[in-house]
Amino acid sequence: MLQESNRIELKEKLNDKLEKEICAFLNNREGGTLYIGVADDGTVVGVEDADLLQKKIAERIRDNILPSALGLYDVTSQETDGKTIIKVVVSSGVEKPYYIKDKGMSSAGCFIRVGTTVQPMSTAMIDELYSKRLRNQTLRNITSPRQDLTFSQLKIYYEERGLALNDKFASTLELLTPEGKYNYVGYLLADENGVSIKVAKYAGNDKVDLIENEEYGYCSLIKAAHRVLDKFEIENVTRTKITGKERIDRNLVGRVPLREAIINAIVHNDYTREIPPVFEIFSDRIEITSDGGLVYGQSEDDFFSFASMPRNRELMRVFKDVGLVEHLGSGMSRILKEYDKSIFHISPRSIKVVFPFEEEQKVTGKVDSKVASNLNITQNRIVEIMRDNPQITISELSKIIGMSNSGIKKNIAKLKEDGVIERVGSDKSGSWKVK
């Protein structure tokens, strides 16, 4: 049963206190969650027309709270005890104090969570938080080094999600400074920029023997993120162990935690120092390093909290729109589901995640050891599909597997290199042969 706490508020129905509750969670060091359709004692009463209610909540938060909270909250519905309730997850903001627009930055408009109650902020607290905000520069207020930006790649990713960007998208997505110029968020999401994400691969467990150094960048950060994800889908191979009873397939590291760590590093990187995240592959581990330590005012306990404090909320909002981020705080929960906190190494200047490889197992029986140890899950699926349908196209594979065409092509190139498949005939009229 749900119970109110410093981070949980229960409301039987939507009322005029919504903005107060959201401001209090935004100003709270750990954020919080508001449930609507649940009585104070935890009894689930449910709501009617959940879709309409979610829309009203999102509009009120967007229109009535300053600074903008877009990218800092997530409104969803869920079934509990056979009834529909609304869940509003709110992250702690980095531009405190947040306040109700028509009340202003005053005790009448600024609120903080105290236990299970919402209390007005004192003038001294408001002044202190505001002075810290001025010292905490955000990407939205940094002017882009270029103003001749185009966004065709970003528009394509939105269209793939069934969303359209109108002529005012730059303002809607907060890609402009208060003066109306493109900001650094716009620069990162533009078709061309000077940001490059590096993926280095070493032969051993140190940096002595560099065997591969690829750059994914100078393009929209969304496109770069997809390319990095595709690269690690190939590198995170499956190792197989066959026992007397079963065959066990395991990736070098957990696929879901690895994906979440990659996205987190890209979204939460401190780009104000123009240092992009770095991804490194060793013989025994994968290291992911993002620039910038904890967000100002954030503790390690806050960092591991499922309601996090996004460093770059504008990027978080866009990554969520295009499906790279599901729900606020969900990434950390997926990582900690398979790994403990010891894989994180936090310093004042950076955050590093180290994924040790699963212990390598020898393959026995009639399975080809080279193939078994080098095919990842995606490659296995490609082989199975090609065996059933030798005329399958790359576009069709992309739709079935849910990966970009470029990612499919890279996996196919690896399969050809390993001698697992070959192309018979021309690209248009030929077919695949599984060896």
Q: 55-113 pLDDT, tens per residue?
A: 999 999 999 999 989 888 999 999 999 999 999 999 998 889 999 999 999 999 999 99
Residue 85: its H or E element: strand 83-90
Residue 410: its H or E element: helix 405-417
- Per-residue model confidence as pLDDT tens digits over 369-420: 445 445 777 788 788 888 878 889 888 888 777 778 888 888 899 889 888 9
Beta strands in 176-237 (DSSP E): 196-202, 210-217
Q: Identify whether residues 262 and 395 lie together within a single domain.
A: no
- The answer to whether 121 touches 107, Cβ cutoff 8 Å, is yes
Determine the pLDDT at residue 217: 84
Q: Identify whether residues 167 and 257 lie together within a single domain.
A: no
Put residue 127 in one of left, alpha, beta given phi > 0 → left and psi -120 to 50 → alpha: alpha
Of residues 43 and 302, more confidence is placed in 43
Give the count of domains, the chain: 4
Q: Identify whether residues 400 and 419 lie together within a single domain.
A: yes
Look at the block and give the residue holding tokens 């996996």: 411
Determine the pLDDT at residue 366: 34
Please indicate, yes or no, if residue 382 is contained in any of the structural domains. yes
Q: Identify whether residues 313 and 346 lie together within a single domain.
A: yes
Q: State which residues form the domain around 165.
A: 140-189
**Mean pLDDT lowest among 11-25, 229-243, 265-279, 412-426:** 229-243
d(CA 220, CA 431): 34
Number of other residues whose CB lies within 10 A of the CB of residue 271: 22
Q: Identify whether residues 215 and 252 lie together within a single domain.
A: yes
- Per-residue model confidence as pLDDT tens digits over 318-333: 999 999 998 777 788 8
Q: Identify whether residues 324 and 389 lie together within a single domain.
A: no
Q: Identify whether residues 340 and 390 lie together within a single domain.
A: no
Q: Indicate the burial class of 134 (C-beta count within 10 angstroms; 0-12, 13-18, 19 or more).
A: exposed
Q: Are strands 247-251 and 238-242 parallel, antiparallel or unpaired?
A: antiparallel
Determine the pLDDT at residue 372: 44
Determine the pLDDT at residue 110: 97
Q: Identify whether residues 66 and 106 lie together within a single domain.
A: yes
Q: Identify whether residues 272 and 341 lie together within a single domain.
A: yes
Please indicate, yes or no, if residue 210 is contained in any of the structural domains. yes
Residue 69: its H or E element: none
Rounded to an integer, the average pLDDT of 269-289 is: 94
Please indicate, yes or no, if residue 156 is contained in any of the structural domains. yes
d(CA 215, CA 290): 16
**Mean pLDDT lowest among 251-265, 303-317, 353-367:** 353-367
**Could you tell me which of 257, 238, 232 has the C-alpha nearest to residue 344?**
257
Residue type, 119: Q
Determine the pLDDT at residue 425: 87
C-alpha distance from residue 4 to each of 50, 305, 308 (Å): 22, 17, 19
DSSP annotation of 139: G
Average pLDDT across the chain, whole number: 88
Please check the confidence at residue 368 and state whether its pLDDT lies above 60.
no
Please indicate, yes or no, if residue 250 is contained in any of the structural domains. yes
C-alpha distance from residue 50 to each of 37, 44, 63, 85, 327 (Å): 10, 14, 20, 7, 18
Instruction: Please report, for the domain that includes residue 397, its CATH number.
Output: 1.10.10.10
d(CA 311, CA 293): 10
Q: Identify whether residues 63 and 43 lie together within a single domain.
A: yes
Determine the pLDDT at residue 270: 92
Determine the pLDDT at residue 365: 33
Please indicate, yes or no, if residue 415 is contained in any of the structural domains. yes
Residue ending a domain, choose from 136, 157, 172: 136
Determine the pLDDT at residue 224: 96
Rounded to an integer, the average pLDDT of 268-286 is: 93
Please check the confidence at residue 41 and state whether its pLDDT lies above 70.
yes
d(CA 253, CA 234): 12
Q: Identify whether residues 208 and 296 lie together within a single domain.
A: yes
Determine the pLDDT at residue 247: 63
Instruction: Please report, for the domain that includes residue 289, its CATH number.
Output: 3.30.565.60
| pLDDT band, residue 136 (cuts 50/70/90) | low
C-alpha distance from residue 21 to each of 102, 153, 256 (Å): 16, 37, 33
Please indicate, yes or no, if residue 362 is contained in any of the structural domains. no
Tokens of 369: 């050891």
Rounded to an integer, the average pLDDT of 241-262 is: 79
301: Cβ–Cβ under 8 A, 6 or more apart, which residues?
none
Please indicate, yes or no, if residue 363 is contained in any of the structural domains. no
| pLDDT band, residue 363 (cuts 50/70/90) | very low
Residue ending a domain, choose from 189, 209, 227: 189
Please indicate, yes or no, if residue 365 is contained in any of the structural domains. no
- The answer to whether 287 touches 352, Cβ cutoff 8 Å, is yes
The structure's pTM equals 0.69
Q: Identify whether residues 231 and 351 lie together within a single domain.
A: yes
